[in-house]
Structure 1
Amino acid sequence: MCVRQSIRSHMQRVCKCHGMSGSCSVRVCWRKLPQFRQVGDSLAARFEGASHVKVVEKKRRRIKKLRAVSRDLKQPNKTDLVYLEESPDYCERNETLGILGTRGRLCNRTSLGLDGCRLLCCGRGYQTRVRDVEEKCRCRFVWCCNVVCERCRYKKEEHICN
């Protein structure tokens, strides 16, 4: 539901005029979907400010309401993202929840993104190894109907989370 609301709130009205020599005898308008990035950025911002809540039942009316888990936190409004449970620790293996953890995962030493060693290895650091790799290279098409490749060997540096 949240995604639909975000898309709806970012839709724009676009109009175009039709007529002789620039006159606007007929005006056609429609709603234009927002850019994917715009919706994603909006949802990401709401995710960062999501409220941890609990369900509270009003005894007289049997109405269930969401309340912040702590009085120190602001009460969520209708547009806030909320969550009932903390997310598990994805850094460590938890077979009960089917979480594999990140130990032994390949990471990108230079990336600041989700695949970067700094984030993916959860502060445990990483090791670097150099492997000999052999793969097809310098492939060419031979008439008719064959592709011939050479085998190339090179050294590949890999980074693995501790």
Structure 2
Amino acid sequence: CRIKKATKIVVFSSILIFADTRETGFVNAITSAGVSFSVTKACSLGSSISCYCDPTKLPDLNITDRWEWAGCDNFQFGYLKSKEFLDDWFRKRRDFKAMLLSHNYEAGRLAVTNSMRIICKCHGMSGTCNLKTCWHKLPHFRKVGDLLKKQFDGAVKVMAGNDGKRFIPEGATIKDPRKQDIVYSEESPNYCLPNKKIGSLGTRGRECNRTSMGVEGCKLLCCERGYDTMVYTIERDNCNCRFYYCCKIKCQICQEKRTVSRCF
């Protein structure tokens, strides 16, 4: 069952990847972020022989004591390799689609760069901290994904400018997109109902959270069609285990109830 679902997701992505929707913008951004993150991680672990520790100093670090730079998370190298790998195919293109793609790739790379942390360690007798060693530290990729999810929620719809070299926000009240913002030009299709043409499976039968007001909540995920709630009783092995001297472990089989809601 899992293999079938994974296959359908791949087909869905391949069909919609050429549409400039906000979902496509998110996919492009997080792909770029993943390349940048993976290359940087490989550098710090010594898995790549083509990179080196980051020699960049800390220009904005407010430290009154003496400090030394000891960084090895070379995020600048990861940034450049991601740009070289992903942006190469449309370097000679100047059309609107290439501009959107380039912008969202850059947004993904900036999500990694902006999530970097500065870590410092004190040295000295009895914790006097006469010397500090500081370095940049990669965040967990989950944090990068959460940042891009916020950018996805606030994605900016744009259209091509008259000069053909830039894009402008669609609508007079919409702010100009920043470099770290995800942009798109086409409205998303309706994912609520099955659509073989775009590969959408719809949300009928999807498990939802009836107490949540977020996207996983039944109201949004079920597209206001309603949902059904059932209570299941499941058996769980290795419950209430006890050790008996010597030397046995006896466990019980416990029953627990689980409440599941699914979309109509």
Question: TM-score w.r.t. structure 2 length?
Answer: 0.44
2:114 pairs with 1:12: no
* Cα offset, 1:33, TM superposition: 2.8
Task: Assess if the C-alpha contact under 8 Å between 2:234 and 2:258 holds in 1.
Answer: no
Q: Counterpart in 1 of 2:262?
A: 160
Distance 1:136 1:15 in 2: 46
SS at 1:99 equivalent: coil
Percent identity between the two aligned chains: 47
* Cα offset, 1:85, TM superposition: 1.6
- Choose between structure 1 and 2: higher strand proportion: 1
Q: Counterpart in 2 of 1:45?
A: 150
**Unpaired runs of at least 5, structure 1:** 141-148
Distance 2:255 2:122 in 1: 62
1:107 equivalent among 201, 204, 208: 208
SS at 2:166 equivalent: strand
Q: Counterpart in 2 of 1:143?
A: none
Distance 1:153 1:19 in 2: 57
SS at 1:46 equivalent: helix
* Cα offset, 1:86, TM superposition: 1.5
1:116-155 maps to which residues of 2 (within 5 A)? 116-128=217-229, 137=237
2:181 pairs with 1:76: no
Task: Assess if the C-alpha contact under 8 Å between 2:117 and 2:136 holds in 1.
Answer: yes
Higher RCO (CA 8 Å, separation ≥ 6 residues): 2
Instruction: Kindly name which structure, 1 or 2, has the bigger radius of gyration based on alpha carbons.
Output: 1
CA RMSD of aligned residues (A): 3.6
SS at 1:4 equivalent: helix
Distance 1:111 1:22 in 2: 47
Structure 1 26/128 Cα, relative in aligned 2: closer, same or farther at 3 Å?
Answer: closer
2:133 pairs with 1:31: no
Structure 1 15/127 Cα, relative in aligned 2: closer, same or farther at 3 Å?
Answer: closer
Q: Counterpart in 1 of 2:4?
A: none
Task: Assess if the C-alpha contact under 8 Å between 2:116 and 2:138 holds in 1.
Answer: yes
Structure 1 65/108 Cα, relative in aligned 2: closer, same or farther at 3 Å?
Answer: same
Distance 2:127 2:231 in 1: 67
Distance 1:11 1:45 in 2: 17
Task: Assess if the C-alpha contact under 8 Å between 2:110 and 2:180 holds in 1.
Answer: no
Distance 1:7 1:25 in 2: 32
AA matched with 1:82: V
Distance 1:13 1:130 in 2: 48
1:81-96 maps to which residues of 2 (within 5 A)? 81-96=182-197
* Cα offset, 1:53, TM superposition: 0.8
AA matched with 2:261: H
Q: Counterpart in 1 of 2:165?
A: 64
Distance 2:204 2:213 in 1: 19
Distance 1:24 1:97 in 2: 60
Distance 2:173 2:166 in 1: 18
Question: TM-score w.r.t. structure 1 length?
Answer: 0.66
**Unpaired runs of at least 5, structure 2:** 1-105, 242-251
Distance 2:118 2:143 in 1: 16
Paired residues, what number?
149
